Amino acid sequence: MPSIRINGKSIYYYISEPEQKPLKTLLLIHGLGSSSSYYLPVTSYVQPGIRCVAIDTPGSGLSELGNSELSIFSIVEDAIQLLNVLRIEGKVTIVGHSMGGIVASQLAVSHGSRVNAVVLIGPVNPSTTTAKLFEDRIQVVQRSMSPH
């Protein structure tokens, strides 16, 4: 899996390059506590001519957390920068699972000219009540990544 420096951190990603010139690109964004490997079982079943790019969001999988504040907006910018560095032009279809659905939705709002479609798999939209549960989950994930 290759990595690239984006916004001051090392971001790992998986890319499948079809044998023929890619006609379309899927940008795959995983959920909280997961990684790009979530999508590996399905990428080989994607239609010929479709490129898959799966990103490990900062602090997940093999990507560095970095020193800047992590937010949905920063993940959106990391994803856009990845597309730019890989020279993937035009519109992409974004697939987001769970928290990745929030990122995919925000990316579509912020960078609509780069988005062909959005596919949401079990998306979350935390209400005020459930936001605390997500904050607690984030803390658990961050503590598990800290050196002991």
pLDDT at 55: 98
Q: Which residues of the chain have pLDDT under 70?
A: 1, 126, 130-131, 134, 145-148
Q: Could you give the CA distance from residue 105 to residue 33 in angstroms, rounded to a whole number?
A: 19
pLDDT at 143: 75
Q: pTM of the full predicted structure?
A: 0.83
* pLDDT digit string, tens, across residues 38-55: 999 999 899 888 999 999
For CA atoms 28, 34, 37, 43, the dihedral sign is: negative
pLDDT at 133: 72
pLDDT at 83: 97
Six-digit token string for 124:
């979350």
**Domains of the chain (ranges, CATH numbers):** 3-145 (3.40.50.1820)
Q: Could you give the CA distance from residue 108 to residue 29 in angstroms, rounded to a whole number?
A: 13
Angle at Cα 110 formed by Cα 105 and Cα 114, nearest 5°? 85
Six-digit token string for 69:
């504040």
